[in-house]
Amino acid sequence: MNVNNILSSYYKDKINDSDPDFKVHGWESEEAVRERFDVLFRSVDLNGKSLLDAGCGTGVLFDEIKRRKISCGYLGIDILPGMIALARKRRPKGTFLCMDLTEENPFDRGCFDVVYASGMFNLNTGDNEEVLEEMLTVFTEIASECVVFNLLHERSADREETYFYSSPEAVERLLKRARIRCRSVEFADGYRNNDFSVILRLS
């Protein structure tokens, strides 16, 4: 089963217009969403920047950017048509596209200042490290300044086979093995017991 089929199977009963965003995404709570977003806002000054929200889902980050009065160019992309349809319906002022960057990358090198991915790598696909390596290679090509993403932490108390868990040490090994282009690597850990974020500075 490929990644697209796994995602479609997982989300087929979750993409429901009557449910709040965090339930559509399969997140624990709205608080968990905000805590993950907070890492992005603490780590990167987005004012005046261009941002790609990869795996944007229903576009919740777009709302948070507007709530914080951050002036940046925003584009949300997702592999699932149902997510993009909900994003466009709930956030008509945002720009959302359905695409799979592993199949076709329409973006020029360095065309976004920042690429962000929240929850994009959480499902267990059986080849998560390969998927992560492939996506980070693309992200670091199309971002000029920074790539930020989060992963479920291997120390999580209630681990399930449905999900993929990692650690800062495992990410460091992957970055070195894959020779991912970056100037520096930072980890944000401790904001949630089951989560950590990675900040790749490219310039």
* Average pLDDT of the segment spanning 29-33: 89
Q: Is 14 a residue whose pLDDT tops 70?
A: yes
Cα–Cα–Cα angle for 169, 172, 178, nearest 5°? 140
Over the stretch 58-106, which tens digit does the pLDDT of each residue have? 999 999 999 999 999 999 999 999 999 999 999 999 999 999 998 889 9
111-139 per-residue burial string, b: 16 or more CB within 10 A, e: under 16: ebbbbbbbbbbbbbbeebbebbbebbebb
Amino acid at residue number 166: S
